[in-house]
């Protein structure tokens, strides 16, 4: 297994060095799960019996990521590896004082505190998969099940409830009944989790192939009631789950959700802001939604194309058939090709020219009005984008 996967192969010398120094070390977490699911892996996590201080003695090049959480980044062969010391029953033991670390740590103790059985697998340097909690069986049964007592796992970190929903969607798995029952019971606890952490899980839920199943569990467990604005959006969430598109990008997910919820521009922006999305994403979702609504009524014209960048328009185009519209990428390409200007600075006249032509004393609101007039007339294809034609347009206009 190690030899047939590049990330494991390149990380193998790191494991070897730790073991040679007299400690235990294993690959753990998502990479082991994903390899068993025959998925590509990009990075690997390592768990070890060595404390961060002991790791720092073994390797010359390290970065302290969170020594108090027992994590050090080791830089070896141009790559970075996160090495975490086996965690024990104590929430996070304090590794800041090496002398204070007197716990007997074991791989089993560490895996016992992980969220789901499919994430509690370890891979040893001898290529053996260590599976104390029937994680491999759950991978085969396609079930998301907590390690041990679900109430305890969710009390350790309430975000894990949303992680369950995310894995259901990402892997198209089912949820184990006891795990589901615990989420239903404890869903309120997620209200204390940072929105940024919740957003990561929600975005992965929207983008997964099992979106319908993931959203179903989000609703069925009432977990959605502690997500920003989702209380008022139950029907829209059902719509997003039922939508026939198999895969969505993040942008398409938000646009569709806002579409099904029939949100106004202002409401979209509030939703995105409360989910702590970037301004860029917020603006793209708002513009994408506006374009989507128009496209369900009409073909692209210069105005729509100008307002919506081509990449964004392509994403909107892909959504249309799932809402009963017709996508026409060829027309979109043609409109973009013919678009007289893509942004306002492509106009043949700029602010200085306007001041000169209109003999203005100083800068003022008239410049904005003049720019807008030129933009509209050029996009309407009434006026050519040339200095002469635009000068005539400005001189004939009444700006008062
Ligand atoms: N709240 C959490 C977060 C993580 N983990 C454990 O830490 C590992 C790594 O977590 P993370 O990198 O967040 O997720 P992955 O499982 O690796 O999934 P992916 O990389 O696909 O997001 C998980 O597999 C799991 O064993 C956990 O027990 N509880």
DSSP state of 272: H
d(CA 41, CA 349): 53
pLDDT tens by residue, 298-348: 998 888 889 888 899 999 999 999 999 999 888 999 998 899 999 899 999
Question: Nearest C-alpha to atom 23 of ligand 1 is from which residue?
Answer: 29
**What is the maximal distance between C-alpha atoms in the chain?**
87
Question: Nearest C-alpha to atom 18 of ligand 1 is from which residue?
Answer: 30
Mean pLDDT score, 76-98: 72
> Alpha-carbon torsion 186, 189, 194, 195, what sign?
positive
How confident is the model at residue 88, as a pLDDT?
Answer: 65
How confident is the model at residue 185, as a pLDDT?
Answer: 98
Mean pLDDT score, 77-85: 92
Nearest atom in ligand 1 to the alpha carbon of residue 45 is 9
Within 10 angstroms of residue 60's Cβ, the number of other Cβ atoms is 9
Residue 163 among known ligand-binding residues = yes
Provide the pLDDT confidence category of residue 105 given band limits of 50, 70 and 90.
confident
State whether the beta carbon of 375 lies less than 6 angstroms from ligand 1. no
d(CA 65, CA 74): 10
Provide the pLDDT confidence category of residue 3 given band limits of 50, 70 and 90.
confident
Question: Nearest C-alpha to atom 8 of ligand 1 is from which residue?
Answer: 29
Q: 48 — phi, psi (to 5°)?
A: -145, 155
Q: Are strands 45-48 and 79-85 parallel, antiparallel or unpaired?
A: parallel
How confident is the model at residue 398, as a pLDDT?
Answer: 86
State whether the beta carbon of 367 lies less than 6 angstroms from ligand 1. no
How confident is the model at residue 69, as a pLDDT?
Answer: 78
pLDDT tens by residue, 117-135: 999 999 999 999 999 999 9
Per-chain mean pLDDT for the chain: 93
Domains and their CATH numbers in the chain: 1-135 (3.30.460.10), 344-396 (1.10.246)
How confident is the model at residue 360, as a pLDDT?
Answer: 87
Q: Are strands 79-85 and 122-123 parallel, antiparallel or unpaired?
A: unpaired
263's CB contacts (< 8 A; 6+ apart) are 271, 289
Percent of the chain with pLDDT over 70: 96
How confident is the model at residue 91, as a pLDDT?
Answer: 43
pLDDT tens by residue, 11-64: 999 999 999 999 999 999 999 999 999 999 988 999 999 999 999 999 999 998
Mean pLDDT score, 242-258: 98
How confident is the model at residue 68, as a pLDDT?
Answer: 76
Question: Nearest C-alpha to atom 20 of ligand 1 is from which residue?
Answer: 30
State whether the beta carbon of 157 lies less than 6 angstroms from ligand 1. yes
d(CA 255, CA 129): 42
Q: Which residues pair with 46 in a beta bridge?
A: 27, 83
pLDDT tens by residue, 200-220: 999 999 999 999 999 999 999
Helix boundaries (H) for the chain:
6-20, 30-36, 52-58, 107-112, 135-141, 150-156, 159-171, 177-186, 195-207, 211-220, 234-242, 250-260, 265-274, 279-295, 302-307, 310-319, 329-338, 351-357, 365-379, 387-396
How confident is the model at residue 400, as a pLDDT?
Answer: 64
Name the most confidently modeled range: 53-57, 186-190, 396-400.
Answer: 186-190
State whether the beta carbon of 115 lies less than 6 angstroms from ligand 1. yes
Q: How far is the CA of 100 from the centre of ligand 1 (A)?
A: 27
Q: Is the pLDDT of residue 101 over 70?
A: no
pLDDT tens by residue, 217-241: 999 999 999 999 999 999 999 999 9
d(CA 260, CA 243): 10
pLDDT tens by residue, 339-367: 999 989 999 999 999 999 999 887 788 99
Structure-block tokens of residue 114: 């992980």
What phi-psi label fits residue 222: left (phi over 0), alpha (psi between -120 and 50 degrees) or beta? left
The answer to whether the CB of 90 falls within 8 A of the CB of 120 is no
ipTM confidence score: 0.97
The answer to whether the CB of 18 falls within 8 A of the CB of 81 is no
Residue 293 among known ligand-binding residues = no
> Alpha-carbon torsion 83, 207, 40, 122, what sign?
positive
How confident is the model at residue 211, as a pLDDT?
Answer: 98
- Count how many Cα atoms sit within 13 Å of the Cα of residue 326 in the half-sphere of its side chain: 7
Provide the pLDDT confidence category of residue 97 given band limits of 50, 70 and 90.
low
């Amino acid at each position: 297994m190690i030899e047939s996967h590049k990330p494991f192969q390149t990380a193998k010398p790191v494991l070897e060095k730790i073991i040679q120094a007299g400690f235990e070390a294993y690959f753990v977490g998502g990479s082991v799960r994903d390899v068993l699911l025959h998925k590509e892996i990009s990075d690997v996590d390592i768990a070890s019996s060595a404390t961060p201080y002991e790791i720092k003695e073994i390797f010359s090049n390290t970065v302290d990521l969170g020594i108090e959480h027992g994590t050090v980044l080791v830089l070896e062969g141009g790559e970075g590896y996160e090495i975490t010391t086996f965690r024990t029953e104590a929430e996070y033991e304090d590794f800041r004082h090496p002398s204070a670390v007197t716990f007997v740590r074991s791989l089993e103790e560490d895996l016992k505190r992980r969220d789901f059985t499919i994430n509690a697998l370890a891979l040893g340097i001898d290529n053996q998969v260590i599976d104390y909690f029937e994680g491999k069986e759950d991978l085969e049964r396609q079930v998301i099940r907590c390690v041990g007592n679900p109430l305890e796992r969710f009390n350790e970190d309430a975000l894990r409830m949303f992680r369950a929903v995310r894995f259901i969607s990402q892997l198209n798995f089912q949820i184990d009944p006891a795990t589901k029952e615990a989420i239903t019971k404890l869903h309120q606890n997620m209200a204390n989790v940072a929105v940024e952490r919740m957003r990561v899980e929600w975005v992965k839920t929207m983008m997964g192939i099992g979106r319908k199943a993931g959203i179903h569990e989000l609703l069925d467990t009432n977990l959605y009631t502690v997500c920003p604005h989702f209380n008022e959006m139950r029907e829209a969430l059902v719509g997003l789950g039922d939508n026939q598109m198999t895969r969505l990008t993040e942008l398409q997910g938000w646009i569709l959700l806002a579409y099904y919820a029939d949100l106004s521009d202002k409401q979209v922006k509030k939703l995105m802001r409360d989910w702590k999305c970037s301004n860029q994403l917020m603006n793209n979702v708002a513009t994408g939604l506006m374009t989507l609504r128009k496209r369900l009524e009409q073909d692209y014209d210069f105005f729509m194309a100008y307002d919506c960048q081509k990449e964004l328009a392509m994403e909107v185009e892909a959504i249309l058939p799932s809402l009963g519209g017709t996508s026409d990428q060829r027309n979109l390409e043609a409109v973009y090709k013919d678009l007289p200007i893509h942004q306002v600075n492509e106009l043949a006249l700029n602010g200085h020219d306007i001041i000169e032509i209109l003999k203005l004393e100083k800068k003022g609101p008239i410049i904005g009005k003049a720019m807008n007039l030129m933009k509209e007339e050029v996009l309407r294809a009434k006026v050519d984008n040339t200095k002469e034609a635009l000068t005539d347009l400005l001189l004939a206009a009444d700006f008062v």
